[in-house]
Amino acid sequence: MLKVSLVALGAAALCVASLAGASAANRRVDIVNNTGMVISEFYASNTGSDNWEEDILGRDVIADGETFDINIDDGTGKCRFDFKAVFDNGKSLVRNNINVCQISTFTYTR
């Protein structure tokens, strides 16, 4: 009986450790703009969410050829996010299901 309890305890500890590792993952992503246009707004929301929240850039923009470092961590511990870039001409481009725990750079192209 003691062996079973120790095995179960060890398995539970491994589960907790892997969850802690995922929530501690780096979620900083360099957004690269190679579109020929200015990105005037940028949003990132958990995949499956119906709300884009606030514009992450605020008063900043990402000019063509520029890179902007963004911390995508919203405190939920999730890794999968949808990105929405809004350009200075009013058009937008959405990219879904981006794993921000596995990438460090995301490039928008024409």
**What gap in Å lies between CA 73 and CA 29, rounded to an integer?**
10
Q: What is the pLDDT of residue 16?
A: 46
Q: Taking 60 as the threshold, does the pLDDT of residue 14 lie above it?
A: no
- According to CATH, the topology of domain 26-109 is Immunoglobulin-like (2.60.40)
The answer on pLDDT for 36 being more than 80 is yes
Question: Which residues lie closer than 8 Å to 32 by C-beta, 6 or more apart?
Answer: 66, 67, 105, 106, 107, 108
Q: Indicate whether 24 pLDDT > 60.
A: no
| Mean pLDDT computed over 11-31 | 61
Average pLDDT of span 62-85: 95
Give the closest residue to 93 by CA, choosing from 54, 43, 47: 43
For residue 88, list its beta bridge partners: none
* SS3 assignment, position 40: strand
pTM, two decimal places? 0.76
Asked whether the predicted pLDDT for residue 37 surpasses 80, the reply is yes
Query: Among 107, 59, 105, which Cα is nearest to 85's?
Result: 107
**What is the SS3 assignment for 66?**
coil
Mean pLDDT of 4-9: 49
User: Domain extents for the chain?
Assistant: 26-109
pLDDT score, position 9: 47
